[in-house]
Amino acid sequence: MSELPVASAVRAIAEEKKVPEALKKTLSVVDGLLRPRTAFISLHDERDGRLAVAVVRGRSDERVVAVEPGEGPSGRAFAERSIVRDGAALAIPMLAGDEPVGTITCLGGARLREPLPEEVEEALFALAGSAALVVALARAREDLERRGRELRIALEGLRERDRVRDSVLSHLSHELRTPLTTIKLYLDMAQGGKLGELGERQRHAVAICQRNADRLLRLINDLLLTARLEAGQMALDPRPLGLRSVMNEAFSLLGDELEEARVKPALSAPLGEAFIRGNRDRLVEAMMHLVERGLEGRREGTRILVDVVPEDRRGVLRLLHEGLHLPPEEVEHLFSAFRADGGRSNLGLAIARRIVSLHGGTVQARATADGLWLEVSFPLYAGAVATGARAPSPRPGEILVVEDDDDCRNGIVEALTAERFRVRAFSDGREALERIRQSPPALLLLDLRIPGVDGARLIREVREGAGPTTPIYVISGAIDGSVGQEDAWGAQVDGVFEKPINFPFLLERVREYVTPA
């Protein structure tokens, strides 16, 4: 028996990658040790719990069948985890560590009628253990592969869900913002007297419409921004900017609301501007939400005091809502979008905190004797004070507007024409491209979702030859910040007007590039 190369056989079995080959080698060595009439290996099927025959060697025998654990010599060896003898039948458990995975069963033969030497039993246990490890490792690989496939399928499902959600959000954003652009353009023209003189009652009605259009816009923005923030898909395209100027813009955009609430803003920067890097539009929205919390209800005579200071390598903005006294439990949940206990939700402040956090900043709140105190802090950006690029020089020429929504396109054309600019408009990208090839405009304003030639391709065509120096501004209904100086499809644009368009801001940019007729 000592002449049999059992040790080398055990190693050879352990090194075998394929389970059937490892089991055949195992039975071959067992046959050399015991010379049984029949030998077979049964493996435990985890699906039905039985021991199913996997490999057979020798003569046919009616006992070579699947059994339950505990049934017959094979089942008993599996259940008891020990060698079982029953007349001329011998069953050896295949143990992978302490866990049985199957059995080796030998039937008949002269050697099985005699007691087995201890070294033979040890050799049989070693062979069975080696085969068991191959089976266990193969099953572990199969399980990992199965779980990997399931994870890949689940991941693809999540990606598809994200794609559908992004598509729905993008479509929803575009469809909601485009009509709002038209509404606000005509309201701006009405307020500016471009549509004729208004009486006191008409001016009051237009001002109410403006406030509510702005309110509707912020509600749309809040819902869409929340979805983007929750999905972790808020692209920032950060640029150097000043905290004081951001706060000034927020106060300016909330001018009507501040007046309605009879609250006076006071902004100071005793040490000068504090420069940071960030997305201006998103940060202005965040500051507006922080200010709006103090405008609920009329608190006539109170102030919103804001100090901006560079401090310990950070740009710090401290805001005090005078006279706004909140109970401690509300301050504790001030930045909770939705509360499980039914308390007041603060979606706007939750959005503000997420935006600040994306910029590497923090927001803190506490109740004081003077009112609600908020502190916002960002990393300073020293390079922001560097000299910027030279401003463009305005020149005479035509403004080309490409927008497929009739009302929005006509509103932009009418608003610019009222300011004495020469404007030509198209609803189709292909027609616009033909016009650009004939006569490049002084400025191109376009929506990305246009028929014929889509906006992305139109920009590439212009940059690659039709009008390489033409200033291009995108009129975007999206809110994810994906269109910037150098956007995802590699076409350079000069800026973005987010729908609904801030018409005074639009005019400022237009006058930088084009002189009125």
pLDDT at 2: 41
Please say if the pLDDT value at position 264 is more than 60.
yes
Higher pLDDT, 392 or 275: 275
| Residue 226, domain member (yes or no) | no
Using CA atoms, how far apart are residues 41 and 58, in angstroms rounded to an integer? 12
Q: Give yes or no: residues 304 and 367 share one domain.
A: yes
| CATH code at position 73 | 3.30.450.40
pLDDT digits (tens, 9 = 90+) for 113-159: 888 888 888 899 999 999 999 999 988 888 889 999 999 998 888 88
pLDDT at 11: 84
| Residue 188, domain member (yes or no) | no
- Mean pLDDT value across the chain: 83
Q: Mean pLDDT throughout 306-320? A: 91
pLDDT at 486: 39
Please say if the pLDDT value at position 501 is more than 90.
no
User: Domain tally for the chain?
Assistant: 3
pLDDT digits (tens, 9 = 90+) for 373-396: 999 999 987 544 433 344 568 899
Using CA atoms, how far apart are residues 104 and 250, in angstroms rounded to an integer? 80
Using CA atoms, how far apart are residues 236 and 218, in angstroms rounded to an integer? 19
Boundary residue ending a domain (357, 388, 419)? 388
392 prior amide bond cis, ω within 30:
no
Which range of 26-35, 177-186, 271-280, 477-486 scores highest in mean pLDDT? It is 26-35
Higher pLDDT, 493 or 268: 268
pLDDT at 466: 67
- 13 band by pLDDT with thresholds 50, 70 and 90: confident
Question: Which of 177-181, 223-227, 240-244, 411-415 is least confident?
Answer: 223-227
Q: Give yes or no: residues 382 and 431 share one domain.
A: no
Q: What percent of the chain lies above the pLDDT cut of 70?
A: 86
pLDDT at 263: 87
Q: Give yes or no: residues 54 and 132 share one domain.
A: yes
Q: What is the DSSP string of 324-380?
A: ----HHHHHTTT-SS-TTS----HHHHHHHHHHHHTT-EEEEEE-SSEEEEEEEEE-
Q: Give yes or no: residues 450 and 495 share one domain.
A: yes
Which residues pair with residue 73 across a beta bridge? none
Q: Give yes or no: residues 65 and 106 share one domain.
A: yes
| Residue 184, domain member (yes or no) | no
Using CA atoms, how far apart are residues 427 and 279, in angstroms rounded to an integer? 30
Using CA atoms, how far apart are residues 377 and 441, in angstroms rounded to an integer? 43
Domain residues for the domain of 426 are 398-513
Q: Give yes or no: residues 126 and 259 share one domain.
A: no
Half-sphere exposure of 71 (CA within 13 A, CB side): 13
Backbone φ and ψ for 30, nearest 5 degrees, come out as -60, -40
- Decide: 450 and 404 in contact? Cβ < 8 Å: yes
pLDDT at 188: 83
| Termini Cα distance of the chain | 109
Q: Residue 344, exposed/middle/buried by CB under 10 A (0-12, 13-18, 19+)?
A: exposed
pLDDT at 228: 65
Which stretch of DSSP H or E encloses residue 134?
Answer: helix 118-191
Q: What is the DSSP string of 280-294?
A: HHHHHHHHHHHHHTT
pLDDT digits (tens, 9 = 90+) for 391-415: 568 899 999 999 998 888 998 999 8
| Residue 162, domain member (yes or no) | no
Dihedral, CA atoms, 79, 80, 86, 91, nearest 10 degrees?
70
Q: Give yes or no: residues 417 and 378 share one domain.
A: no
| CATH code at position 483 | 3.40.50.2300
Q: Give yes or no: residues 253 and 381 share one domain.
A: yes
Please say if the pLDDT value at position 458 is more than 80.
yes
- Decide: 371 and 321 in contact? Cβ < 8 Å: yes
| Residue 192, domain member (yes or no) | no
Using CA atoms, how far apart are residues 454 and 465, in angstroms rounded to an integer? 17
Q: Give yes or no: residues 371 and 403 share one domain.
A: no
| Residue 187, domain member (yes or no) | no
Please say if the pLDDT value at position 76 is more than 90.
yes
pLDDT at 393: 81
Residues constituting the chain = 517
Boundary residue ending a domain (116, 146, 176)? 146
DSSP helix/strand/coil, 506? helix
pLDDT at 339: 57
Q: Give yes or no: residues 243 and 384 share one domain.
A: yes
- Write down the residue that tokens 């059995």 correspond to: 103
pLDDT digits (tens, 9 = 90+) for 87-105: 889 999 999 988 999 999 9
Q: Mean pLDDT throughout 251-255? A: 88
- Write down the residue that tokens 């039914």 correspond to: 342
Using CA atoms, how far apart are residues 350 and 227, in angstroms rounded to an integer? 12
Which stretch of DSSP H or E encloses residue 504?
Answer: helix 503-513
pLDDT at 344: 58
What does R_g of the chain's alpha carbons equal in angstroms? 38
Question: Which of 63-67, 232-236, 461-465 is least confident?
Answer: 232-236
Please say if the pLDDT value at position 488 is more than 70.
no
Backbone φ and ψ for 48, nearest 5 degrees, come out as -110, -5
Which residues pair with residue 100 across a beta bridge? 95
Boundary residue ending a domain (146, 174, 202)? 146
Which range of 203-207, 238-242, 360-364 scores highest in mean pLDDT? It is 360-364
- 232 band by pLDDT with thresholds 50, 70 and 90: low
Dihedral, CA atoms, 6, 10, 11, 15, nearest 10 degrees?
150
Please say if the pLDDT value at position 1 is more than 60.
no
Q: Give yes or no: residues 474 and 355 share one domain.
A: no
**Lookup: tokens for 509:** 């940019």
| Residue 230, domain member (yes or no) | no
- Decide: 360 and 284 in contact? Cβ < 8 Å: no
pLDDT at 318: 95
Q: Mean pLDDT throughout 458-462? A: 86
| Residue 198, domain member (yes or no) | no
Q: Give yes or no: residues 371 and 496 share one domain.
A: no
pLDDT digits (tens, 9 = 90+) for 131-144: 999 999 988 888 88
Using CA atoms, how far apart are residues 214 and 250, in angstroms rounded to an integer? 13
pLDDT at 170: 65
Nearest to 296, CA basis, from 244, 220, 372, 370: 372
Q: State how far the alpha carbon of 328 is from the alpha carbons of 191, 331, 334, 367, in Å.
A: 43, 5, 10, 7
- Write down the residue that tokens 């193969």 correspond to: 138
**Lookup: tokens for 495:** 């800026």
Q: What is the pTM of this model?
A: 0.48
Which residues pair with residue 374 across a beta bridge? 319, 365
Q: State how far the alpha carbon of 424 is from the alpha carbons of 165, 283, 406, 465, 510, in Å.
A: 36, 34, 14, 20, 14
**Long-range interactions of 356-361: CB distance < 8 A, separation 24+:** 356/283, 356/286, 358/229, 358/234, 358/236, 358/282, 359/236, 359/238, 359/276, 359/277, 359/278, 359/279, 359/283
Using CA atoms, how far apart are residues 70 and 79, in angstroms rounded to an integer? 5
Q: Mean pLDDT throughout 497-516? A: 82
| CATH code at position 359 | 3.30.565.10
Which range of 337-346, 380-389, 415-424 scores highest in mean pLDDT? It is 415-424
